[in-house]
Structure 1
Amino acid sequence: MIINKQSSSLEESLIADNYPLVSILINNYNYAQYLSQAIDSALGQTYENTEVIVVDDGSTDNSREVIKGYDNQIISVFKKNGGQASAINAGFAASKGDIICLLDADDIFLPEKAAEIVNFFNLNPDIDWAFNESAPMQSEDIMNADLKATFKEIYNNNDDILTKKIDFRSNIINAELPNFTPSTSNLCFSRKLSKKMFPLPEERGCSGLAICDAYLKLIAVGLGIGCASKKNLGIFRLHQNNLYTTQDITNKRIIYSEIFLATAYYMRAEFPLFSKLAKKLFSKAFATYLRNKNKNEISNKLIQKYFDYLSFYEKIEVSCNICYFFLKLGFKDLV
């Protein structure tokens, strides 16, 4: 396999004859207006040993027509709507890569993304994950931009940005939360680690995001050593349909409680080693849920199922933690 001459300086840093297959998994639901730019960015990588897998999670817009237009340039997966976790599961099941890179359909990869990630893995053969950052841009600015020039500007601004090798496994066991875990489109995993994490629990919740990047990155950091870089290797699209970032504080709390109730339950169920962190996440999420004005049956079931895992003394401990976090949130949202 070869790498295009567009990134010759980066090519020289890659270990000779070590060009792993990189699978880029794009998950899409009703983002037809953004999807082509995501797919084009995945296909336009300077590192050529890639496969692009696009999963449509039962879209009701013209996403499927957009995907079909790429024919055999990509691997297409069409499925019934089941939430983000089920879409990522379908993408992983269809993949063959040694390295798995996730890309939301409304985001974009810089051309050097795959090459940089391969470089992280080649220079650190004992790592199992690699995280980077993305430059935020308003959607209208992206649509009107000269993307080639924009990519170049963002990438060149990465000069002298360090990448840190991190072993946070014992911290996760001791319920410490990492501060270097970015959003979905900045997450990359070795296949070895991915096999331990997938399939993800297909708990979609009311938002469709109950099991999402929060679960993935905490499990990944708990199971393996990795590299975290502040390099912007993509573009994070800001638009009115962002399911979390554009919400008001009330809706953010509703989504937050749902995500972390699900994350805590399945973390405890699937990875008992992280039970201490699961307690912390559950206590915060339940306290937030109690503050929410909108309750739902899905969250109620997760709460009950989580408590069923606990011993009598653990229930007392968690109940005390819930009270602490409830009071910490303040009294302004009392129901």
Structure 2
Amino acid sequence: MERPTISVLINNYNYGCFVGRAIDSALNQQASNVEIIVVDDGSSDQSRSVLEGYDKRVKLLFQENRGQAAAVNAAVKASSGDILCFLDADDWWAPGKLPATAAAFHANPRASLVYHRLQPMQTDGSPGFRAIPRTLCSGDLSPRLARSAGWWPFPLTSAIAVRRSAWDAAGDIPEEFRISADAWLAGIYPFLGGVVALPDPLGFYRIHNNNWYRAVDDAAMLRKRMAHWQSVVDATNRFLSAHNLAGRLRLDDHYPYRVASARLEGADIRTRFRLAVEGLLFAGEPNLLRRTRDALRTARDLPRLGQAVRLSESAR
């Protein structure tokens, strides 16, 4: 049998109502030499019965619940493609995603990661807002990440593909990434090779209650994001040290972290001014107009001292 050029790796946990669409979108790709591997991470809903309906067309793996990183690692271990394309079970792809991704890797032999935009979708099937990420970044991103504590307008899991040789160099995703495996992929692989951004929205990101997207963050979500960002910085620095790569990330350079902290504590005039300047200079957002707008808007909208963001009523 000819070795698959592309491995589609779907991780699923209690998304029995969504995973069929994800698998169908992979099966309907305009590409050959593709294998599809689905890892169910200990679901307790109807996922198994849905997945077993695809048994002859995809490779199915079932494991005890260990988190997203463990599911993705198991899928990669069972795969054989030269290109690894990740898909969350609650998202889906446009038919041309795989050929566009393969062409980008072929045209850029030094690329470790290829990504594209995703179109956010509401539960009623309508577009949520403009495709994300809005700013695209290509080339050698490692200097930028070193100056921004690893933050950039990075893609979500279902938009990311990596070269197997880069995966072999990086190793498995640490299992501490029980959610947000995209933070590891987008944070580590730019240190291993070039990045290629495709401008078209070649996939769809489903907005629902179980993902990270919130129109407005309450205090609990802000603290959760800050803890996540700190753990990503720590994990990245361990990786850089273990692989004898230059540079270390500093949490003080992580502008979104500093803004979240100010939202929790409240901000006086001096803090607003300082964060406005930091936002204008922040290396993580390459687009000058967007960086300027976001910095000024952030400084304007920070709560005053004594009026910090609190828990929402539903979280109390």
TM-score, normalised to structure 2, is 0.73
C-alpha change, 1:290 and 1:178, in structure 2 (3 Å) is closer
In structure 2, what is the Cα distance between the partners aligned to 1:290 and 1:78? Answer: 43
C-alpha change, 1:290 and 1:266, in structure 2 (3 Å) is farther
Return the offset for 1:200: 1.0
Does structure 2 retain, via aligned residues, the 8 Å contact 1:267–1:274?
no
In structure 2, what is the Cα distance between the partners aligned to 1:76 and 1:329? Answer: 49
1:333 aligns with 2:308: yes
1:250 aligns with 2:219: yes
SS in 1 for 2:72: helix
Alignment-derived partner of residue 132 in structure 1 = 116
C-alpha change, 1:20 and 1:30, in structure 2 (3 Å) is closer
Alignment-derived partner of residue 239 in structure 1 = 208
Does structure 2 retain, via aligned residues, the 8 Å contact 1:100–1:191?
yes
Q: Which has the higher helix share?
A: 1
Return the offset for 1:333: 3.2
Q: Deviation string for 1:275-324 (max 9, x for gaps)? A: 5325446897599579869xxxxxxxxxxxxxxxxxxxxxxxxxxxxxxx
1:196 aligns with 2:169: yes
C-alpha change, 1:195 and 1:278, in structure 2 (3 Å) is farther
Does structure 2 retain, via aligned residues, the 8 Å contact 1:131–1:228?
yes
Amino acid at match of 1:100: L
Does structure 2 retain, via aligned residues, the 8 Å contact 1:22–1:98?
yes
Runs of 5+ consecutive residues of structure 2 not aligned to the other structure: 266-301, 311-316
Runs of 5+ consecutive residues of structure 1 not aligned to the other structure: 3-18, 146-156, 158-162, 294-327
Indicate the larger mover: 35-44 or 221-230.
Answer: 221-230
In structure 1, what is the Cα distance between the partners aligned to 2:153 and 2:212? Answer: 21
Alignment-derived partner of residue 71 in structure 1 = 55
SS in 2 for 1:72: coil
Return the offset for 1:171: 2.6
Q: Deviation string for 1:150-193 (max 9, x for gaps)? A: xxxxxxx9xxxxx8741112333344656442111111100011
Equivalent of 2:92, from 90, 108, 111? 108
C-alpha change, 1:283 and 1:128, in structure 2 (3 Å) is closer
Indicate the larger mover: 273-282 or 130-139.
Answer: 273-282
Alignment-derived partner of residue 249 in structure 2 = 277
In structure 1, what is the Cα distance between the partners aligned to 2:309 and 2:155? Answer: 32
Does structure 2 retain, via aligned residues, the 8 Å contact 1:168–1:221?
yes
C-alpha change, 1:289 and 1:60, in structure 2 (3 Å) is farther
Does structure 2 retain, via aligned residues, the 8 Å contact 1:99–1:190?
yes
C-alpha change, 1:215 and 1:274, in structure 2 (3 Å) is farther
Alignment-derived partner of residue 26 in structure 1 = 10
Q: Compute the RMSD of aligned alpha carbons.
A: 3.4
Alignment-derived partner of residue 94 in structure 1 = 78
In structure 1, what is the Cα distance between the partners aligned to 2:264 and 2:60? Answer: 39
Identity of aligned residues (%): 33
Q: Aligned pair count?
A: 265
Alignment-derived partner of residue 194 in structure 2 = 225
C-alpha change, 1:33 and 1:191, in structure 2 (3 Å) is same
In structure 1, what is the Cα distance between the partners aligned to 2:209 and 2:68? Answer: 19
Alignment-derived partner of residue 322 in structure 1 = none
SS in 2 for 1:200: coil
